[in-house]
Amino acid sequence: MSVAAKSQLNWNALVVTAQTLESARARLAVGDVAASRGGRVVGLTAPMTLDFRMNFASGFLLDSLPGWETTMLLPLEEKRSVLADQRERSRLAELASDKSSPLRRFAKWADMVIYHTTAPENAQFLGRRIGDIADDQGKEAFDALCDIALADDLTTSFGHPSDDDPLEDWEARVDIWRDERAVIGASDAGAHLDMFMGGNYATVVLREAVAKRHLLPIEEAIRLLTAVPADLYGLRDRGRLVPGAFADVIVFDPDLVATGPIEMRADLPAGATRLYADAVGIDHVFCNGTEIVDHGEFTPARPGIVLRSGVHTG
């Protein structure tokens, strides 16, 4: 495909841990095959573990559990009735416990955490394990989750939290980032709305790999986040601070830069929700030489342009 299109091609997503490092290297070998034929194939690697969040309202991912699809596709009120029925709950819980299902991990209710609620009485459950909530209430974990979700009109967000990844995993990731057959990325740019967020990957890299663990010099990290992808996609005069290039500049404190906590915001059309995280420690952002962020706050300026293939790319 790369050779036929006379263009680079990237595949995603390459998620790396210490245990999967050798597998990741083996998968990147497709880049060598492409290069031998005159093409370029690059693995797009997510630089951190992504927390998947689910809710009964959309039913996404949950509809992949054995026998759950029909229920998850019901209109909201019918779905509420099903989840309020104890017999139906027992049926769904039994179907989800099928050990032969590759998605069994999405039904380990007791290990999940409540991320977002709307009903005032549910505020007490934020950040808590469902198993602990169920123990306090003398219920099964799935019953406790259903009761919380019903009070929230099924919009309760829940999932498995990723713990602070060990040093060995970050070392393995850095190893892959430095490979010319890979590129840091996998931002969903908000496309997954309330499911997971990858748009904060750059501040995660600067905080976790540079400031916190000292695995990368800051200059190298910035090159991997800017010049490398700009060159890969052929963007003209972008990705470097050099005379004659577009003045796209981010001014940040290397000791403070980080991603803020991921939260839910209801600011999409029709009041729909999305995941959001503030960028911490970023003082100024300039786009095409015009300041668009001043001390962390957006200015009214919108100097950006839509980059078009063949016009702004080589």
CA nearest neighbour of 187 among 150, 225, 214:
225
Burial label for 221, CB within 10 Å (0-12, 13-18, 19+), is buried
How many CB atoms neighbour CB 33 within 10 A? 10
Q: Report long-range pairs for 80-83 (Cβ below 8 Å, ≥24 apart).
A: 80/150, 80/153, 80/154, 83/56, 83/146, 83/149, 83/150, 83/154
pLDDT at 237 over 90: yes
For position 85, what pLDDT does the model report?
98
Average pLDDT, the chain: 94
Mean pLDDT of 284-306: 96
Residue 190 confidence class, pLDDT cut points 50, 70, 90: confident
Mean pLDDT of 50-56: 90
Scan for tokens 């991912």, then name that residue. Answer: 61
pLDDT at 161 over 90: no
For position 221, what pLDDT does the model report?
98
What are φ and ψ of residue 43, in 5° steps?
Answer: -85, 130
pLDDT at 51 over 90: no
Residue 157 confidence class, pLDDT cut points 50, 70, 90: very high
